Amino acid sequence: MQEWQFDGLVGPTHNYAGLSYGNVASAANAGGVSNPREAALQGLDKMRFVQGLGINQCFLPPQKRPLISILQQIGFEGGTNRILDEAARTAPALLASIYSSSYMWAANAGTIAPSCDTADGKLHITPANLLTNFHRSLEANITKYTWDHLFADPAHFTVHTPLPATPRFSDEGAANHMRVSATGHATAGLHIFVYGTDGQADGAPRKYPARQHRAAYEAIARMHRLPTERTIFVQQSSEAIDAGVFHNDVIAMNTTRLMIAHEHAFAKGVGLADQVRRLLEPEGVDWHYVEIREAELPMVDAVKSYFFNSQVLELPNGRIVIVAPSESEENPRARDAFARLAAGNEVAAVHYRDVRESMRNGGGPACLRLRVVLSEAQANAMHQGVILTDARYAQLKAWIERHYRDRLSFDDLRDPAFLRELDEAYAALEPIIGLPGFYQNMV
C-alpha cells in the first residue's frame, strides 16, 4: 500500500471572484485580474517537485466550464451570448460561479477510505456535495463523473454518489478528514472526522458558517464500512472558523505518524491527542502530536500564511518532510515555527513552493491535493492517463502554455472568443489523459 497524491490541475477559467464567504484570502482578492496560465504552471511544478521527492503523483483533469446549462436552469434564456451578457449585467456572481475553477482544490473532491481500512476490502470514495457555496456545489456530480472514469473497476473501487444536498449532510470532503496509520499505509488506520457543526446552537461560530456537518461524516463512515472503533469525530473550534479557518486543513496537518495542530484547532475539552493515543496504545505504535501555541503562531498569522495548509509527506525512506507555501517563508512567525519543527526529531525538512495564484484565491499546497492510498493492484487498475510521468508533464506544460490566458478579468467571462478557446483546450487535453469524449460527455 502506498500513498498517491492527486492534485487538481488548475483550469483555464481560474479567476478571482471572491465567491467563498469565510475564506479570507478569497474575499481579499475579489475582483482582481488572475493569471490562469501561471496558476496552472505553479500547480504543475509543485506536483513535479513532490514527485521528485519520491512520492507517487497523479492529477485530476479540470472540470469543463462554463456551465451554461445552470444559467438556463435558473431562468436565463436565449443564445449563449445573450445569456452571458444578461448574467454579467444582472447577476455577476452567478456568471462567475459557472466559470469557477474551484474544483482545482482536490482536497474537497471527496473523502477516501483505503481498502486496508474497509470491511469489504475495497477503496471507497464519496465525492463532497460542497453545498455551502453555490459555485462549489456545481462540482459534485462532475467530480463523481471523473472518479467513475478514473476508478472504474468495481472489483477494486466503490465510488458513491454525493450525500443529499441538504444542510444536515453538508460535506466538504478530505479537507476536514485525517487518517492516522502510525505503522505504515498497509495497516489499518484511524479515521478522524473534523466537523464544524452537529446541528446544535451551542458552540456554533458567530461570524462565518460551519461548512461540515457531523451527520455527513457519520454517513460516510457507514458507507465506507469503517469499524466504529477506528473512527473519531471531533468538533472544530468555532473560534478558528470565525478567524477564517473554513476547513480543518487550514489549522491542522498530519501524515501517517505525525500530527501538527494549532492549540485552538479543536473545540475545548476535545482531547484529540489523548483519544488517538488510547486507541493506538494497544498496538504499541510511535505516534507524535505537536501543538503549536497561539504565542508561537497567532491564528491570524496561521491563516494569513497558510502554515497548516502545507503537505506533510512521509517519504519512502521514512523521513517526514513538509511542502509549505512561500507565504509561510515570508511570514516571520510562520517561518520561525517551521524552523523549530525542522530542528526537532519529527520533521526532516521544510520545502517552500510558490503557488501564489492559488493562495490568492484561498487554497494552498494541501488544498490542491487529495491523498489516496492504493495497493499495487489498485494502482494498476486505475486509469493510467492521470499519472504524472516525464512525458505527460511535458505534454501538460505545453498544453497549458498554448491554451491558457495569462490574464483573466470578469469582463472576459462574457467574451464568445473565450468559450471557443476553452472548447479547443478541453479537446486538446483528452488525448493527453487518454480519455476520448471525456469533456464532450461531461455536461
* Secondary structure of residue 3 in the 3-state scheme: strand
| Catalytic-role residue among 149, 156, 213, 247 | 247
AA letter at 398: A
Closest CA to 327 of 285, 357, 299: 357
Which three cell numbers mark 275?
A: 483519544
288 is catalytic: no
Which residues on adjacent β-strands are paired with residue 197? 213
Where do the DSSP E strands lie in 93-238?
Answer: 111-113, 123-126, 157-159, 177-180, 190-195, 231-235
Measured distance CA(126)–CA(176) in Å, rounded? 13
What helix, strand, coil percent values describe the chain, rounded to 5? 40, 20, 40
Measured distance CA(191)–CA(189) in Å, rounded? 6
367 is catalytic: yes
C-alpha distance across the termini of the chain, in Å: 34
| Catalytic-role residue among 172, 314, 327, 357 | 172
Q: Which residues contact 420 (CB under 8 A, 6 or more apart)?
A: none
Question: 260 and 253 in contact (C-beta within 8 Å)?
Answer: yes
| Catalytic-role residue among 14, 264, 327, 367 | 367
Catalytic residues: 172, 247, 367
